[in-house]
Chain A
Amino acid sequence: MSDAILSLRGLRKSFGATEIIRGVDLDIHRSERHAVIGPNGAGKSTLFHLISGNLKPTAGTITFDGHPIAGKTPQAVNHLGLSRSFQITNIFPKLTVFENLRLAVMRPRGLQYTFWKFIDRDAETRRQVERLLELVRLQKRAYTLAGEMAYSEQRSLEIAMTLASDPKLILLDEPMAGMNKEETAYTANLIREVTAGRSLLIVEHDMEVVFALSDRVTVLVYGQPIATGTPEAIRSNAAVKEAYLGEEVAA
């Protein structure tokens, strides 16, 4: 746990007069699994959009692996080794699962402007796609249209696409939303396995998963982190209980 792979300093984001992210300072260590929790509207997804290049911050800096990435394009951020999933399933619904994963695998293999060879002949691409299919247990769905699968299967596909580029830091935005208990347990285990040796930043509502999976947890309330620490520390933190967990219990 030496240096940070991702550092946020004084990060702010406003939409018009409304400030959603109100000064976030946060370090994600190398090989750390870090969860962001917080009530609805705390700005968790906005934070992900800022880090992944989907939104430009109003102020502040984001440093990823030594590179300033605030305001860079999503593809530039991705090239540096950061890959993300989306809260609202973001796949290619009218293409097959196989094709979805192949598109995800091709870029890191340097195949994008290639028009002089056939993709079917590329054995390594096929092998990687099949490995990903097996990883998220979608082998039998390889030739189903992605949009026709059950929601939880689409979530699994989303995770597999995120893993395809062999990233240094993975951002998962509510990967288990819509999964049943067995699928959640399997996916939590999968995430633990595939993030070994990488860094993970995860937003998740399932507290059991969050506390079991994460090395550290940050609690975000109204666009500001109110506490960061180990799961145990967060569980016993009075401010967190009041601001977040208390609300959950009351609700």
Chain B
Amino acid sequence: MNRYLPALVIGTALLVAVPYLLSQGLVNASIQMLIAALFACAYNLLCGQAGMLSFGHAAYFGIGAFATVHAMNAIGGAGLLPTPLLPLAGALGGLCFGALAGYFATKRSGTYFAMITLAIAELVHSLAPHLKGLFGGEAGISTTRMPAWGFTFGSTNEVYYLTLAWVLLSLALLFLFTKTPLGRLALGLRENSHRLRFLGYDTHRLSVIVFAISAMFSGVAGSLQVISNEAANYAIFDPTVSAAVVLNTYIGGVKVFLGPALGAGLMTFFGYAISDLTRSWLLYQGTLFVLVMMFMPTGLAGLFGLFGQLRRRFGWGGLLPLATLSLAAALLLSGAGAFVIEMLQRALSQDYQSMATLPGATPWPQIPLFGTSWSPVAASTWLTPIALFAVGGLLAWLARRQMRVLVQREEAAASGASFDQTLAEKTA
């Protein structure tokens, strides 16, 4: 814990400084990143720590959101709670619905558990537009943040600080939870729930409690979303919300406590930064997920561990060239991939197709991309990604070779040492 304290203090200080450093648009994006980070960590309590893969966590996020909307609109719009305490309504909503849904879902494990959570989320998603009073029909429910405790909550910055405070508090509680008896038992549930039963534990009850706590913090995340947006709509129950939290959590890494927060923060930021530039954001998200699962099952957070491990093994001198080569290769290969995807997306889009077939139009007009115009039929256009692929592949190959050299050197040093030892023993 103390080992990470400096990093935690610096991280928190940077988060506090965000409104002074970044534009309003980016502060808004930061709010979304924080909310996604909390949601992913809440999800990871269930998925990573207790080993229950839920495919329907949007339900608890959404219930938390709607509980908050109703709390805000209660008493003629005055609100049931002062604005800074509103996430408690989301927490309560998530907890209650989580306990109810969790009671049924945790009756089964593995695939069946996943299917039940999916079914419950779909049930809520399809019911919501029909329940006008509860979920506001298709239009949803809007609300207004009320001033409280001397804050107007009118500016993005005030909302940012409110969100930050709740996210940090929730993350701290989620972390401390892992240190409690119940938190340790969550790991036991993941590893071997059969054995827990023979140690005298009621595994169903334990699972329901862990499920409900995960849902409670998901509810807090949903609540913060509503406070930020001042509206909630049944789209919050969409399966893509459930899918995103699974992808974010695994991309970040389930084995490290803050891994899911990292994954969710990064993916949300990319979603914000890139969604204006491309229409293929979901494709990139999916591709990234597949690549992470294939080549780094420990997720992005696992990279830090790997980095430290390699540094201890080979020292900075060995690691830096290796890391530079790998990073350059990764950048070039993803650049090539992005070029092909964007080019094809534009060339195959309906707009372009209809423009190209207009009477009198030039066949295959130029396509603007990355600041220049490219002809989709010119060889040079397609040579660009091929060249990027080739150079990237070459660098990746060099990185692999560098790794082999380092390992050989290490082995040589080890056998040399043992050779020296036997020599010393013989002479002695």
Contact = CB atoms under 8 A, between A and B. Distances in A.
A106 B180 contact: no
Interface string A93-130: 11100010011101110011111111110100000000
A21 interface: no
Contacts of A90: 192, 194-195, 198
Interface SS of B by simple majority: helix
Given A103-B199, A165-B200, A115 B183 contact: yes
A99 B182 contact: no
Contacts of B192: 90-93
Interface stretch (B110-118, B132-140, B202-210): B202-210
A107 B191 contact: no
A84 interface: yes
B197 A119 contact: no
Contacts of B200: 75, 78-79, 107-108, 165
Nearest to A147: B191
A161 B195 CA distance: 10
Contact of A119 (B184, B191, B201, B205): B184
Contacts of A231: none
Nearest to A78: B200
Contacts of B199: 78, 83, 103-104, 107, 161, 164-165
Interface in B162-209: 176-177, 179-185, 187-188, 191-192, 194-203, 205-206, 209
Chain B CB within 10 Å, residue with most, of A74, A84, A164 = A74
Contact of A92 (B179, B182, B188, B206): B188
A107 B184 contact: no
B199 to A, nearest CB: 5
Nearest to B190: A94
A86 B198 CA distance: 10
Interface string B205-226: 1100100010000000000000
A156 interface: no
Contact of B180 (A86, A108, A118): A118
A52 interface: yes
A216 B232 CA distance: 71
Contact of B188 (A52, A74, A103, A117): A103
A73 interface: yes
B185 A92 contact: no
A79 B200 CA distance: 6
Chain B CB within 10 Å, residue with most, of A93, A103, A165 = A103
B187 A95 contact: yes
Contacts of B206: 112-113
A103 B192 CA distance: 11
B255 to A, nearest CB: 10
B400 to A, nearest CB: 29
Contacts, number: 92
Contacts of A113: 182, 205-206, 209
A126 to B, nearest CB: 13
A120 B182 contact: no
Chain A CB within 10 Å, residue with most, of B182, B183, B206 = B182
A161 B196 CA distance: 11
Contacts of A75: 197-198, 200-203
Contacts of A83: 198-199
Interface in A145-160: none
Nearest to B192: A92
A97 to B, nearest CB: 13
Contacts of B182: 112-115
Chain A CB within 10 Å, residue with most, of B176, B200, B205 = B200
B389 to A, nearest CB: 39
A70 to B, nearest CB: 17
A55 to B, nearest CB: 13
Contacts of A161: 195, 199
B201 A102 contact: no
Chain A CB within 10 Å, residue with most, of B177, B195, B203 = B195
A148 B69 CA distance: 51
B257 to A, nearest CB: 15
A92 to B, nearest CB: 4
B197 A99 contact: no
Contacts of B198: 52, 54, 74-75, 78, 83-84, 86, 90
Given A90-B192, A108-B200, A99 B184 contact: yes
A94 B191 contact: yes
A198 B111 CA distance: 42
A73 to B, nearest CB: 7
Contacts of B176: 118
A79 B197 CA distance: 10
Given A75-B197, A112-B201, A113-B206, A92 B180 contact: no
A112 B181 contact: yes
A115 B184 contact: no
Chain B CB within 10 Å, residue with most, of A92, A95, A102, A108 = A92
A155 to B, nearest CB: 14
A116 B185 contact: no
Contacts of B180: 114-119
Contacts of A78: 197-200
Contacts of A165: 199-200
Nearest to A102: B184
A91 B181 contact: no
A69 to B, nearest CB: 13
27 contacts: A73-B197, A75-B198, A78-B198, A78-B199, A78-B200, A83-B198, A90-B195, A91-B192, A92-B188, A92-B192, A92-B195, A93-B191, A95-B188, A99-B184, A103-B188, A103-B199, A107-B201, A113-B205, A114-B180, A115-B181, A117-B180, A118-B176, A118-B179, A119-B179, A119-B181, A119-B184, A122-B181
Given A54-B198, A75-B201, A91-B195, 7 more contacts: A75-B200, A112-B185, A113-B182, A115-B183, A115-B213, A117-B180, A164-B199
Interface of A: 52, 54, 73-75, 78-79, 83-84, 86, 90-95, 99, 102-104, 106-108, 111-120, 122, 161, 164-165
